[in-house]
């Protein structure tokens, strides 16, 4: 899952939220030097990614996208799924997405010094372009993926992903809707397990 989903699934702990947000930027021995509560957030991030990567609906979505995006299909599907989460946000959360996004920007901004450099850079980009809200529209998703294509190390075709989303919209939407409740159930169990081991 991409940033919006990871933030959404973090629960009430600010430290877990931080860990979940920076999860992709923490490698090797960096992990052991962090606050234990942030470590739990990183562990949650990794658990979410493992569950997501193994899920048959996600694999179906990735297989469809591979025809256009190749090795970057996994990245693209993460963003597509964030689109459906953002689009239907009122179904998943009681706080409207614009208010939620502002709250997240403020909360993470207060902990910015704890982030790895990569996460600091993305945080600034996310706030400047209001990425979390932009996920709700196809135009917003297209712009995000075009910017990601410019930063990709290899030819990614992510600049074509907006067209791919439109082309396969009902299929990706159906797969997301089947997957998301199962992820939320798994995530609740993972949060409980992490809390019990703290």
Cα separations in angstroms, 144 against 110, 171, 179: 25, 21, 23
pTM of model > 0.85: yes
Q: Is the pLDDT of residue 54 over 60?
A: yes
The tens digit of pLDDT for each residue in 76-108 reads 999 999 999 999 999 999 999 999 999 999 999
Indicate the Cα dihedral angle 108, 113, 119, 121, nearest 10°: 100
Half-sphere exposure for 168 (CA within 13 Å, toward CB): 23
Structural domain boundaries, residue 52: 3-196
Q: Token match 């159906």: residue?
A: 174
Sign of the torsion formed by the C-alpha atoms of 130, 136, 141 and 142: negative
């Amino acid at each position: 899952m991409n940033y919006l989903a990871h933030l959404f699934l973090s629960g009430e702990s600010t430290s877990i939220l931080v860990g979940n947000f920076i999860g992709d930027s923490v490698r090797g021995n960096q992990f052991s030097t962090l606050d234990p509560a942030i470590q739990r957030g990183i562990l949650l991030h990794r658990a979410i990614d493992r569950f997501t990567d193994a899920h048959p609906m996600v694999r179906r979505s990735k297989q469809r996208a591979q025809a256009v995006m190749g090795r970057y299909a996994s990245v693209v599907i993460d963003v597509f799924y964030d689109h459906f989460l953002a689009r239907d946000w009122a179904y998943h959360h009681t706080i409207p997405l614009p208010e939620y996004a502002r709250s997240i920007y403020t909360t993470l901004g207060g902990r910015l010094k704890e982030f790895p450099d990569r996460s600091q850079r993305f945080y600034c980009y996310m706030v400047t372009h209001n990425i979390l809200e932009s996920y709700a529209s196809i135009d917003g998703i297209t712009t995000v993926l075009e910017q990601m294509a410019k930063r990709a190390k290899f030819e990614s075709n992510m600049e074509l992903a907006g067209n791919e989303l439109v082309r396969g919209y009902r299929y990706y939407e159906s797969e997301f809707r089947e997957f998301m409740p199962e992820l939320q159930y798994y995530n609740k169990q993972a949060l409980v397990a992490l809390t019990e081991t703290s």
